[in-house]
Amino acid sequence: MDITKKQKQEFKKLAEKYKLNFLVLFGSQAEGVARSGSDYDIGYSPQKEIDYRKEYFMEREIARILKQGKIDLASTKRATPLLMYNMAYNSQLLFEREKNSFDYFQMYAFKMYIEAKPLFKMIHDYIDIKYGD
């Protein structure tokens, strides 16, 4: 997805307002495989946890910036290893407060994903046993 200079400036203001380390677009919109009507998956890294009320207002501001109504927000602080991995590697960086902060997140997300892989295999094996191939 192409982000305009104006949108980049607005994302910067939004990130400063909500004290975000970085903001990313991830999922089908970032990968360029979105279907008509697909939502926009936005990942964010807050300096401190954001309550659901503020997150709602942040979501509305992002919808206004992107001129899209369907926004799905995901905080790095509440994300599962698989979600973190998708935020880290199937994404487009929209804003970064400090240089390399997103790079550090990518390393952390990869570590968490690798550590969780045996659990993914156990779940897969259980489903195979329970429900067959």
Q: Hey, what are 81's tokens?
A: 């290893």
Spatial separation of the C-alpha atoms in residues 91 and 21, rounded to whole Å: 15
Spatial separation of the C-alpha atoms in residues 13 and 99, rounded to whole Å: 17
- Given a cut of 70, whether residue 133 has pLDDT beyond it is no
What domains appear along the chain, each with residue ranges and CATH number?
5-131 (3.30.460.10)
What single letter denotes the amino acid at residue 21? N
Task: Count other Cβ atoms within 10 Å, centred on residue 70.
Answer: 12
Q: Hey, what are 127's tokens?
A: 């489903």
Q: E strands of 47-109, at which residues?
A: 71-75, 91-96
| pTM for the full predicted model | 0.87
The chain-wide mean pLDDT, for the chain, equals 94
Rounded to 5 degrees, φ, ψ at 37 are 85, 0
User: Tell me: the pLDDT tens digits for 48-68?
Assistant: 999 999 999 999 999 999 998
Q: Hey, what are 93's tokens?
A: 């960086």
Mean pLDDT over 96-103 rounds to 96
Residue with tokens 């880290």, as numbered in its chain: 88
User: Tell me: the pLDDT tens digits for 2-27?
Assistant: 889 999 999 999 999 999 999 999 99
Spatial separation of the C-alpha atoms in residues 107 and 103, rounded to whole Å: 6
